[in-house]
Structure 1
Amino acid sequence: MHALLKSSNETPITIERQLKLIKQVNPVLSHECRRRLRYMHMRSFDWEQGGLLSTVKFVDRDSVEYSLVVAADHELSEARMASLTLDNAMSLFDPIWGGVYQYSTQGKWDVPHYRKTMAAQAGHLRIYSLAYAQLKFDHYLKATNSILLYIKNFMTSEVGAFYAGQTDKVADIKPELFFSLDDSQRQKIGIPDVDKRIVTRENGWMIEALATHYEYCGSQQSLNMAIKATKWINQHCRRVTGAYLTNIMTSTPLHLSDTLAMARAMLQMYRATFDKRYLDYACISAEFMHKNFKNQLCGYNTRLINKNDTSPPRQIDENISITRFVNLLFHYSGNPLFKKMTKHGLRYCCIPEVATARMEEAGILLVDREVLAPPLTINISGNKNDPAVNEFINIAHRHEGWYKLIRLNPSATISASIEIDGYKSKPVTTPEKLKRLLQLH
């Protein structure tokens, strides 16, 4: 639904046009396309209420994340865009049970559609966690905890995996009346039906979001829930090839989104725990996606295709997501295949007809920034079980920005250093000095 709110249909592009564009050895956005995307990003923003200029108000997560990234470079207008959106979007939060409603209508934030999708819960949990790490606003931390409470109380199955969503309908009462009631009044009427299917894609989204919440906000409960869900999904829906099934009822990994969601979740779980098994899972799944979903010309198909499929479908948001993912995975693993995958995804994202097909595409601006420079690298040496090393890890985790590389190197001595924009610091031996290094660079 999040993608549909911006319209995610691929603009038809001739094969000749695609062949001309993919001949670039190192695909990058043209200067003209980059300028156009920045203009679209600013022009599509609602400067009074935040969010996109649309009758449907929702948090476009790529747009907000891009604003946060640029705001970190002291761009005040982008900082205002991020905070204005996130502040007003808190009208979508359920003040009684927690969690976040799907979207709002009539061009306002306070006319919500009360359905609670897993996409909305995971997307908001991740972006508010990133925002809290950077802006340190207490109400953003409270927002993340509201979602966590809702997921724990309503959306977690007995096996630890997560349900698919919750409707806004109960009995014969209108949703706007029901959700205006307090807890006891709601309980007397009943609880809106929960879609108790356990599907891989939604679990991948939530696992990534919970592990992100742990990384940036320090919630051990979130990590514990993520570990439990990860174990169940990997046991029941993962194949040795690295593919993920849609659910336990399916036998073939038909959709890119299932494997992509869990692959991203595994990389985030590795960042949170430094358990090498998760990184291995992410790498194997990335290899599977390259082998089975790679479009012959550029980008990645949204589903498995057959030989008679003359126009295999590609989805813009999925190609942004997989390109960002494999680019960062390359830095964590060193596997050159993932650099190749990054270029293949970028060739699709950089086609002007794709990049400018919708009202705004900040996700491609994020891809553009990330492929042009290595991530901030934080090197930590020592034993993971040493309390002093854990202090370094906590500082690295809480540091703002998703595009970062945290390396933990086993060593008898404890130290930390950073690398950014070609600069390599000398090792430091105290948490305070690491904090200072990160503040200065």
Structure 2
Amino acid sequence: MRSRFAMLVCLFGFAVSGFASPAVAPAALHWQAWSDGAFAQARAEHKFVLLDLEAVWCHWCHVMDDVTYRDPAVVRLLNQRYVLVKVDQDSRPDISNRYQDYGWPATVVFAADGSEIVKRQGYLPPKLMSSMLQAIIDDPSPGPSIESEAAFRPASDSVIKSALLARIEAQYEKQYDKPIGGWGFVHKYLDEESVEYAMRQGARGNAEYAKRAGDTLHDATNLLDPVWGGMYQYSVGRHWTEPHFEKLISIQADALREYSLAFAETRNPEDLNAAQSVHRYVTNFLTAPAAGVFFVSQDADLHDGQENEAYFKLSDQGRRAQGIPRVDTHVYARENGWMIAALCDYYAASDDVTALAQARKAAGWIVVHRSLPGGGFRHDDVDPAGPYLGDTLAMGQAFLALYNVTGDRGDLKAAGAAADYIAGHFAPAAVGGGFVTAQTATDAAYRPHPDRDENVALVRFASGLALASGEERYRAAAVEAMRYLAAESIALRPLSAGVLLANEDMTEAPIHVTVLGAASNADVVALHTAALRAITSHELIEVRDPADPAPLPTSVTYPPLKRAALFLCTAQACSSPIFRGEEVRGKIQRAQLQAQR
């Protein structure tokens, strides 16, 4: 899916001392939504604009509200010289992508013309905040946190040059924490793309990478809630055993997908148990009972800003006696797309038909309630800005995933419509400039920018869609996004696995699994089911009925047969027909080994 940790982590300061609430209630602060009107007000009143970019699930965001923004000195300075803007980062993908490197809460101060003066990450205690606010009043020139944006130089083409690719692969190798396990060296979390790339190389015969993926998946089970299920966002410090307790739908989707793919590859029951834990939690806590769509998150705190470790050590009965942490019940198309796609992989690997039913129901609701004319999707019921690339992209991925496990042509058509909408609304202004997060700028001083993770996802989606549909125009979108990712300044950013996966998905043919025969034929169903149980991360599965009057285009000529058969094709060759479902797993695994030869 993507490496979302940088934009999701709730940052805090290890050196922060005690923070008592003020004895005297301060005057109220008047927050408003992000808009051009905030900057117009700042110009009219000769003030600055302060953005508090928070996450509704974030413990340290709650502490900022309860402590810093109630401190009399802070309140006095803010009311005198600042226009105050508060944004939930989940609600505004454009602003979230813009400041994702600062974690949540992020504090950004602007001049009235929209230029940035200071950017700070994480919890700011009252004394530090009031000192910063006064310093800006005294001298509003941009501070050291504001750096000029470097000129971007796109790659000359979409193929990553061999020397640069070697550097990216070397970086990926260094990003693995050998003593502790996992990718990254500060917090411990399940980075989906890093694990997926290691699993893919492991399936191709790299025993060391297979072990790293397996060890990381095992270690990450420490982040599973043993009572309610589901995965906490990350563990504090360089170990796996001190979780931060918020649960985000994005984290659940990542975990569900990776544990499902791992189980399909290894049949390790621990991986299935982990996937089932996530599925159970999402079903019980983050699913709208009637509509079947998925909510955004569950808070880390039962009571805002209070420590919660003791609460999460309680039994189900003990927790419920005290209450249940708040669930953000917004329904975003992007987040639903992520979960729908993950449910498809879980269904494929586990044969849990309830997961496919959930994916179908959520997709149907989103189509009715979030569709835009022309194949796109809006973020929320009403968007203050947008549309955003992430929503249409995630739903396109969801439809392609549904097609991959069901063969429903309607899903393939919906995926194609999403790709066409993306090409028509988010394409870069210049060749190689990357598909942009939003059509319109967040403010007059900031033009629309591309996001690396979104362009990784777009390359992978468009490449798969081109193969599934036979429509070459979708590959053109992948090529354009890859030119952005192949630029050295983008390609060498950590973490590296996303770019490596995108490069492989675009340049290397996936395993192509084709079952020949009528979809209602019992032998076809058995072969198709066997293929699903062994699903891989780089694969197209399809059922082709020889009697289909309008078959999808293919470059492969299949022989006429009198019985159902399955064929495996790679870039080099196609297998002889496979008639027995019990042979499929071994054949797919051998095809993966041969893919690198």
TM interval, short-chain normalised: over 0.9
Q: Which amino acid aligns with 1:14?
A: A
Offset at 1:124? 0.6
Residues 189 and 135 from structure 1, CA distance in 2 versus in 1: closer, same or farther, beyond 3 angstroms?
A: same
Q: Which residue of 1 aligns with 2:493?
A: 357
Which of the pair has more CA radius of gyration?
2
| TM-score for both structures, normalised by structure 2 | 0.70
Offset at 1:187? 1.2
Aligned residues of 2:348 and 2:535 also touching (Cα < 8 A): no
Deviates more, 1:246-255 or 1:361-370: 246-255
Residues 389 and 253 from structure 1, CA distance in 2 versus in 1: closer, same or farther, beyond 3 angstroms?
A: farther
Aligned residues of 1:242 and 1:284 also touching (Cα < 8 A): yes
Can you list the C-alpha shifts for 1:44-96, whole angstroms capped at 9, x where unaligned? Answer: 11112211232211111111000001001111110111011111111100000
Q: Measure the CA separation in 2 of the matches of 1:154 and 1:321.
A: 27
Q: Which residue of 2 aligns with 1:144?
A: 275
Aligned residues of 1:243 and 1:253 also touching (Cα < 8 A): no
Secondary structure of 2:398's partner? helix
Q: Which residue of 2 aligns with 1:386?
A: 521
Q: Measure the CA separation in 1 of the matches of 2:374 and 2:386.
A: 10
Tell me if 1:348 matches 2:484. Answer: yes
Residues 170 and 433 from structure 1, CA distance in 2 versus in 1: closer, same or farther, beyond 3 angstroms?
A: closer
1:259-298 alignment, distance < 5 Å: 259-297=392-430, 298=432
Residues 76 and 428 from structure 1, CA distance in 2 versus in 1: closer, same or farther, beyond 3 angstroms?
A: closer
Offset at 1:111? 0.9
Tell me if 1:428 matches 2:578. Answer: yes
Aligned residues of 2:527 and 2:579 also touching (Cα < 8 A): no
Q: Which residue of 2 aligns with 1:198?
A: 331
Q: Which residue of 1 aligns with 2:220?
A: 89
1:90-129 alignment, distance < 5 Å: 90-129=221-260
Q: Measure the CA separation in 2 of the matches of 1:159 and 1:99.
A: 21
Deviates more, 1:203-212 or 1:244-253: 244-253
Q: Measure the CA separation in 1 of the matches of 2:402 and 2:535.
A: 17
Offset at 1:438? 2.8
Q: Which residue of 1 aligns with 2:559?
A: none
Offset at 1:385? 2.0
Aligned with 1:235 (options 356, 368, 392): 368
Offset at 1:436? 4.8
Q: Measure the CA separation in 2 of the matches of 1:11 and 1:62.
A: 30
Q: Measure the CA separation in 2 of the matches of 1:69 and 1:309.
A: 42
Moved over 4 A (4+): 5-13, 306-311
Secondary structure of 1:424's partner? coil
Q: Which residue of 1 aligns with 2:16?
A: none
Aligned with 1:165 (options 280, 297, 300): 297
Q: Which amino acid aligns with 1:36?
A: R
Percent identity over the alignment?
29
1:41-52 alignment, distance < 5 Å: 41-52=172-183
Q: Which amino acid aligns with 2:402?
A: M
Offset at 1:414? 1.4
Deviates more, 1:309-318 or 1:360-369: 309-318
Q: Which residue of 1 aligns with 2:285?
A: 154
Q: Which residue of 2 aligns with 1:57?
A: 188
Q: C-alpha root-mean-square deviation of aligned residues, in Å?
A: 2.2
Q: Which residue of 1 aligns with 2:510?
A: 375
Secondary structure of 2:569's partner? strand
Q: Which amino acid aligns with 1:202?
A: E
Can you list the C-alpha shifts for 1:128-149, whole angstroms capped at 9, x where unaligned? Answer: 1111111221011000000111
Residues 187 and 349 from structure 1, CA distance in 2 versus in 1: closer, same or farther, beyond 3 angstroms?
A: same
Tell me if 1:326 matches 2:452. Answer: no
Gapped regions of structure 2 (runs ≥ 5): 10-98, 102-146, 548-562, 592-597
Secondary structure of 1:405's partner? strand
Secondary structure of 1:198's partner? coil
Offset at 1:39? 1.0
Q: Which amino acid aligns with 1:330?
A: A
Offset at 1:326? 0.3
Q: Which amino acid aligns with 1:406?
A: I
Aligned residues of 1:68 and 1:82 also touching (Cα < 8 A): yes
Aligned residues of 1:8 and 1:315 also touching (Cα < 8 A): no
Q: Which amino acid aligns with 1:162?
A: F
Offset at 1:376? 0.9
Secondary structure of 1:50's partner? coil
Q: Measure the CA separation in 1 of the matches of 2:150 and 2:161.
A: 18
Q: Measure the CA separation in 1 of the matches of 2:385 and 2:365.
A: 18
Aligned residues of 2:396 and 2:415 also touching (Cα < 8 A): yes
Q: Which residue of 2 aligns with 1:214?
A: 347
Q: Which amino acid aligns with 1:365?
A: L
Q: Which residue of 1 aligns with 2:17?
A: none
Can you list the C-alpha shifts for 1:136-165, whole angstroms capped at 9, x where unaligned? Answer: 210110000001111111111121111111
Aligned with 2:531 (options 383, 389, 396): 396
Gapped regions of structure 1 (runs ≥ 5): none
> Greater helix percent: which structure?
1
Offset at 1:432? 3.6
| TM-score for both structures, normalised by structure 1 | 0.93
Aligned residues of 1:163 and 1:198 also touching (Cα < 8 A): yes
Q: Measure the CA separation in 2 of the matches of 1:12 and 1:312.
A: 13
Deviates more, 1:285-294 or 1:6-15: 6-15
Aligned residues of 2:235 and 2:242 also touching (Cα < 8 A): yes
The higher-RCO structure (CA 8 Å, 6+ apart) is 1
Q: Measure the CA separation in 2 of the matches of 1:86 and 1:168.
A: 23
Tell me if 1:250 matches 2:408. Answer: no
Deviates more, 1:242-251 or 1:309-318: 309-318
Offset at 1:311? 4.4
Q: Which residue of 2 aligns with 1:418?
A: 568
Residues 12 and 39 from structure 1, CA distance in 2 versus in 1: closer, same or farther, beyond 3 angstroms?
A: farther
Q: Measure the CA separation in 2 of the matches of 1:71 and 1:273.
A: 27
Q: Which residue of 2 aligns with 1:79?
A: 210
Secondary structure of 1:423's partner? coil
Q: Measure the CA separation in 1 of the matches of 2:150 and 2:348.
A: 40
Aligned residues of 1:2 and 1:119 also touching (Cα < 8 A): no
Q: Measure the CA separation in 1 of the matches of 2:269 and 2:582.
A: 23
Q: Which amino acid aligns with 2:300?
A: D
Aligned with 2:7 (options 4, 12, 21): 4
Q: Measure the CA separation in 2 of the matches of 1:389 and 1:13.
A: 55
Offset at 1:252? 6.8
Q: Which amino acid aligns with 2:160?
A: L
Deviates more, 1:129-138 or 1:112-121: 129-138
Aligned residues of 1:126 and 1:213 also touching (Cα < 8 A): yes
Q: Which residue of 1 aligns with 2:171?
A: 40
Deviates more, 1:365-374 or 1:136-145: 365-374
Can you list the C-alpha shifts for 1:89-128, whole angstroms capped at 9, x where unaligned? Answer: 1110000000010111121111111000111111110111
Secondary structure of 2:378's partner? coil
Aligned residues of 1:382 and 1:408 also touching (Cα < 8 A): yes
